[in-house]
């Protein structure tokens, strides 16, 4: 691999992975793609920083006692002719002095974590260009610590552990476990963490440091030959500079020469010297990272394409914006407000190709208010029978005064009708309130797309909600005017009015408009009171027609449990019990008969209030009306009934029939006009004037604050540009991954490497590979397989 150019394939793909990392980091969000990378893990003072500096051939990392690395450092190494460094947070600035790089790392760390040893999981992205490095991406993580120092929290060990696990638990992350040779390998913090997430050692690369500091007479041969704690990717030994060398400003190149001399001269290591040291570590990491990228390429490319599809939709809104365009802020405002208006209209009108299958839209809920909730509220006012008869008798008696009347007075009819019409104001105004609230809820859902611009989102919601409330007041004025118009003139010449002549002959039977076998509603309901007596409530599938209510075992409607005729049935609400969350209503017979077997009433339970209201509205269509009579009214009515003479009873019945006939005309008119009034004055007006109202008020407010479109702050405006950058990077990543060739050297593409099992034999005073191979060729035995591997090109 080394300096060999794979046609810009795998080496170029490492660069694309780096660009993706930078693009996501610039947005301040984690990369959901789990990009292939190598995470460096180790205990405090294990030598992680020295290993990284040796790879770069420069001193650039902060040093000191205790915890030094307090934020993840994403180190991207790029082969180049000139040597310099760049930070993602310092775009455009090139660092040629690596002492300044160290100072900037310390300063950026302190800016986020504080000055006294705090830690943060927000990474620092550093890219180093140099002719002395191979393309490689490493993530330097904080060293594992046990005892908090400075202002570190008591759970610092757990925090560092959680941060490390965030990286190494990803399947696409190789683990570079750094362990000093002068400690027991079984107690290695790095290997312990690696084993938790990679128990088979498939992703772990071992690095043994401080080989020169081992006690005299001991060596790490068994570890480096992968015999003690085997890893599929093996171990590599390195010798770093001592603290004395660092303080004495010993050159890294000189240190690497000393490292090579150490391995060649040490009797325990010279037989494997060509596989030890920092240069070999660089090449091995480069090779294993490129092979790892190749192995994860299919899944990586699939996720990349999936991310690209989702991000293209976001970028679409910014495709016509040019960064140098001075009017782009105003254009952005206009486009977002226009999109908000389109979303609002789609939610109300029900148009568009994206249909919500999880909940009702605003328009569907308003439709239910118009055709279920509003008619039900009207009927509750209309069918308070006993109170109405009592009022009619009082009106007749008061008009006659001390005289006994022979004829039914017209004034009693008009007085009762006007009073009944005035009562309709409550349901009408309530329907306006319900629609207004639903419109505001729809606005809140539409403004979620503006969450990137919180100030614009807040202003849009405030402006539109204010406009809706203004229209609410005008709509209520018009609704009250409609009621007052009906009260002002009682038209007894209406073609549908029965008149006095037919009032006494009118049938008291309720005419059902629906066909007997027509299904009005189906759905699940729980029979509450019967289930309690039999050991628990039970759910059944109910079918409501114009003549009966039937329930079945399930929705296949094969096993019918019972069919209940609707004659003489009424519905009333039942208070929820303390332990129940269900909403309950009851059906009962007005003639005091049993409804079902031995039960006087049938309690039915729903999960939601809306569902119960919908069932009651469906029962209303079938002719089952709500019962609103109270005990007090019953007593008053009974007292009045005892005092009524037969003539008064006939007059009351006549006026009752007249009122019923005229109110049916009024109700039909009100049911038709109120939804139309609300649509015209509130819903259509809001939809038609939405864009103009928001844009005009936003621009006026912006000019007042002397900051054009101040709602779009700089960070939010750059969001689209950064998203576009990510999209282009992902497109390049897909193209690059499509043409990336397989590597010509290294590990098997079909499976991770097997543990090394090297057999050496001594020749003369030194070590030679078994089989007499020269130094240019080393025979590696991978379990039962063997492969010949050439020396890595220098």
> Residue 134's pLDDT is what?
80
Q: Which of 21-35, 139-153, 200-214, 378-392 has the highest mean pLDDT?
A: 200-214
Better pLDDT: 642 or 432: 432
Residues 190 and 153 sit within 8 Å (Cβ to Cβ): no
Crossing angle (nearest 10°) for helices 609-621 and 374-382: 60
Residues 46 and 97 sit within 8 Å (Cβ to Cβ): no
**Span of 1-15, 369-383, 397-411 with lowest mean pLDDT:** 1-15
| CA distance linking residue 779 with residue 789, whole number of Å | 7
Q: How confident is the model at residue 641 (pLDDT cuts 50, 70, 90)?
A: very low
Residue 662, H or E segment: helix 646-678
| CA distance linking residue 697 with residue 684, whole number of Å | 20
Q: How confident is the model at residue 735 (pLDDT cuts 50, 70, 90)?
A: low
The SS3 call for residue 83 is: coil
> Residue 34's pLDDT is what?
66
Task: Give the pLDDT confidence of 211-225 residue by residue, as tens digits.
Answer: 988 888 888 899 999
> Residue 371's pLDDT is what?
87
> Residue 678's pLDDT is what?
94
The SS3 call for residue 682 is: helix
Describe the strand order of the beta sheet including 601-606 as a list of residue ranges: 560-565, 548-552, 538-545, 519-527, 601-606, 583-589, 569-574, 625-626
Q: Which of 3-17, 534-548, 758-772 has the highest mean pLDDT?
A: 534-548
Q: What is the largest CA-CA distance in the chain?
A: 144
| CA distance linking residue 279 with residue 274, whole number of Å | 10
Say whether pLDDT at 384 is over 70.
Answer: no
Which residues touch 388 (CB under 8 Å, ≥6 apart)?
416, 420, 656, 659
Say whether pLDDT at 745 is over 50.
Answer: no
Region 569-585 average pLDDT: 79
| CA distance linking residue 585 with residue 604, whole number of Å | 6
> Residue 474's pLDDT is what?
93
Q: How confident is the model at residue 516 (pLDDT cuts 50, 70, 90)?
A: low
> Residue 772's pLDDT is what?
38
| CA distance linking residue 374 with residue 366, whole number of Å | 10
Q: How confident is the model at residue 777 (pLDDT cuts 50, 70, 90)?
A: very low
Task: Give the pLDDT confidence of 287-308 residue by residue, as tens digits.
Answer: 888 888 777 777 777 777 777 7
> Residue 292's pLDDT is what?
80
Q: How confident is the model at residue 774 (pLDDT cuts 50, 70, 90)?
A: very low
Say whether pLDDT at 513 is over 50.
Answer: no
Residues 12 and 736 sit within 8 Å (Cβ to Cβ): yes
Residues 43 and 157 sit within 8 Å (Cβ to Cβ): no
Half-sphere exposure of 61 (CA within 13 A, CB side): 28
Which residues touch 763 (CB under 8 Å, ≥6 apart)?
none
Tell me the C-alpha to C-alpha distance, in Å, between residue 52 and each of 61, 136, 197, 273, 703.
Answer: 9, 11, 23, 20, 54
Task: Give the pLDDT confidence of 305-318 residue by residue, as tens digits.
Answer: 777 776 666 666 55
One-character DSSP codes across 302-335: HHHHHHHHHHHHHHHTTTT--TT-TTHHHHHHHH
Q: How confident is the model at residue 738 (pLDDT cuts 50, 70, 90)?
A: low
Nearest alpha-carbon partner for 375 in 620, 119, 208? 620
| CA distance linking residue 161 with residue 138, whole number of Å | 18
Residues 570 and 624 sit within 8 Å (Cβ to Cβ): yes
Count CB-CB contacts under 10 A for residue 613: 19
Which residues touch 366 (CB under 8 Å, ≥6 apart)?
348, 435, 438, 439, 683
Residues 701 and 459 sit within 8 Å (Cβ to Cβ): yes
Better pLDDT: 588 or 729: 588
Q: What percent of the chain has pLDDT over 70?
A: 70
Cα–chain-centroid distance for residue 698? 29
**Span of 420-424, 472-476, 752-756, 778-782 with lowest mean pLDDT:** 778-782
Say whether pLDDT at 12 is over 60.
Answer: yes
Specify the DSSP class assigned to residue 116.
S
Say whether pLDDT at 71 is over 80.
Answer: yes
Task: Give the pLDDT confidence of 647-663 residue by residue, as tens digits.
Answer: 666 767 777 778 888 88
> Residue 265's pLDDT is what?
92
**Span of 79-83, 109-113, 506-510, 722-726 with lowest mean pLDDT:** 506-510
Q: Which residues of 78-99 are buried (b: 16+ CB within 10 A; e: fewer)?
A: bbeeebbbbbbeeeeeebeebe
The SS3 call for residue 404 is: coil
| CA distance linking residue 571 with residue 587, whole number of Å | 5
Count CB-CB contacts under 10 A for residue 477: 11
The SS3 call for residue 603 is: strand
What are the chain's domains? 10-303+744-790 (3.40.50.300), 343-507+636-704 (1.20.120.1240), 519-622 (2.30.29.30)
Better pLDDT: 387 or 703: 387
| CA distance linking residue 59 with residue 53, whole number of Å | 6
The SS3 call for residue 126 is: strand
> Residue 676's pLDDT is what?
94
> Residue 739's pLDDT is what?
56
Which residues touch 267 (CB under 8 Å, ≥6 apart)?
none
Region 241-267 average pLDDT: 84
> Residue 737's pLDDT is what?
58
> Residue 194's pLDDT is what?
92
Task: Give the pLDDT confidence of 687-706 residue by residue, as tens digits.
Answer: 888 777 776 666 655 544 44
Better pLDDT: 784 or 64: 64
Say whether pLDDT at 460 is over 90.
Answer: no
Count CB-CB contacts under 10 A for residue 774: 9
Say whether pLDDT at 747 is over 70.
Answer: no
Task: Give the pLDDT confidence of 136-152 residue by residue, as tens digits.
Answer: 888 998 888 877 776 66
Residue 717: which region, alpha, beta or left (left: phi > 0; alpha: psi -120 to 50)? alpha
Region 612-623 average pLDDT: 82
Half-sphere exposure of 110 (CA within 13 A, CB side): 9
Alpha-carbon Rg for the chain in angstroms:
42
């Amino acid at each position: 691999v080394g300096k060999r150019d794979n046609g810009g394939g795998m080496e170029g793909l490492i660069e694309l992975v780096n660009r993706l990392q930078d693009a996501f980091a610039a947005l301040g969000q984690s990369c959901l793609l789990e990009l292939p990378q190598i995470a460096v893990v180790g205990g405090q003072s294990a030598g992680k920083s020295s290993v990284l500096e040796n790879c770069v051939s420069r001193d650039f990392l902060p040093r000191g006692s205790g915890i030094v690395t307090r934020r993840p450092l994403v180190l991207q190494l790029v082969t180049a002719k000139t040597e310099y460094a760049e930070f993602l947070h310092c775009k455009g600035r090139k660092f040629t002095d690596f002492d300044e790089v160290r100072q900037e790392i310390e300063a950026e760390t302190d800016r986020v974590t504080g000055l006294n040893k705090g830690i943060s999981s927000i990474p620092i992205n550093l890219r180093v260009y140099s002719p002395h490095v191979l393309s490689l991406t490493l993530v330097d993580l904080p060293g594992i610590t046990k005892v908090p120092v400075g202002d570190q929290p008591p759970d610092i060990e757990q925090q560092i552990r959680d941060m490390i696990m965030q990286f190494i638990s990803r399947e696409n992350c190789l683990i570079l476990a750094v362990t000093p040779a002068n400690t027991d390998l079984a107690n290695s913090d790095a290997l312990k963490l690696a084993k938790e997430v990679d128990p088979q050692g498939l992703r772990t690369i071992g690095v043994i440091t401080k080989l020169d500091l081992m006690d005299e007479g001991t060596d790490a041969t068994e570890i480096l030959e992968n015999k003690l704690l085997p890893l599929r990717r093996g171990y590599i030994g390195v010798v770093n500079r001592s603290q004395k060398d660092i303080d004495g400003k010993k050159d890294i190149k000189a240190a690497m020469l000393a490292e090579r001399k150490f391995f060649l001269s040490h009797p325990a290591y010279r037989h494997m010297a060509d596989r030890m040291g920092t240069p070999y570590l660089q090449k091995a990491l480069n090779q294993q990272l490129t092979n790892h990228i190749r192995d994860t390429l299919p899944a990586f490319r699939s996720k990349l394409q999936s991310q690209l599809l989702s991000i293209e939709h976001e970028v679409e809104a910014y495709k016509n914006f040019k960064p140098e365009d001075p009017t782009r802020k105003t254009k952005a405002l206009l486009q977002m407000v226009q999109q908000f208006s389109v979303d609002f209209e789609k939610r109300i009108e029900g148009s568009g190709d994206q249909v919500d299958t999880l909940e009702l839209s605003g328009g569907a809920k308003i439709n239910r208010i118009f055709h279920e909730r509003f008619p039900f509220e009207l009927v509750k006012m209309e069918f308070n029978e006993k109170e109405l008869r009592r009022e009619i008798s009082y009106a007749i008696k008061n008009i006659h005064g001390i005289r006994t009347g022979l004829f039914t007075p017209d004034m009693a009819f008009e007085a009762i009708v006007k009073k009944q019409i005035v009562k309709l104001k409550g349901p009408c105004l309530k329907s306006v309130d319900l629609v207004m609230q639903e419109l505001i809820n729809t606005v809140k859902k539409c403004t979620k797309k503006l969450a990137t611009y919180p100030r614009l989102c807040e202003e849009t919601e405030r402006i539109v909600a204010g406009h809706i409330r203004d229209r609410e007041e005008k709509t209520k004025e018009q609704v009250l005017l409609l009621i007052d118009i009906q009260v002002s003139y009682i038209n007894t010449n209406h073609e549908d009015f029965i008149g006095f002549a037919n009032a006494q002959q009118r049938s008291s039977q309720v005419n059902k408009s629906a066909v007997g076998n027509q299904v009005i509603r189906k759905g699940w309901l729980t029979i509450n009171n019967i289930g309690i007596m039999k050991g628990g409530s039970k759910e059944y599938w109910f079918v409501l027609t114009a003549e009966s209510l039937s329930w079945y075992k399930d929705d296949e409607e094969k096993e019918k449990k019972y069919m209940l005729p609707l004659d003489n049935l009424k519905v009333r609400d039942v208070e929820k019990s303390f332990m129940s969350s269900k909403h309950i209503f009851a059906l009962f017979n007005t003639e005091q008969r049993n409804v079902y077997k031995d039960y006087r009433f049938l309690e039915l339970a729903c999960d939601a209030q809306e569902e119960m209201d919908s069932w009651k509205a469906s029962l209303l269509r079938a002719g089952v009306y709500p019962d609103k009579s109270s005990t007090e009214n019953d007593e008053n009515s009974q007292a009045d009934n005892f005092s009524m003479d037969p003539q008064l009873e006939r007059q009351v019945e006549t006026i009752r029939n007249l009122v019923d006939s005229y109110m049916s005309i009024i109700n039909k008119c009100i049911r038709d006009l109120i939804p139309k009034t609300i649509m015209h004055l509130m819903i259509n007006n809001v939809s038609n004037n939405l864009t103009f109202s928001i844009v005009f008020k936003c621009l006026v407010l912006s000019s007042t604050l002397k900051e054009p479109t101040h709602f779009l702050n700089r960070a939010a405006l750059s969001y689209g540009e950064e998203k576009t950058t990510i999209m282009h990077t992902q497109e390049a990543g897909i193209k690059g991954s499509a043409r990336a060739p397989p590597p010509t050297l290294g590990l098997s593409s079909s499976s991770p490497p097997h543990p090394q099992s090297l057999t050496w034999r001594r020749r003369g005073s030194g070590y030679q590979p078994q089989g007499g191979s020269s130094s240019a060729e080393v025979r590696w035995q991978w379990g039962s397989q063997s492969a010949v591997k050439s020396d890595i090109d220098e």
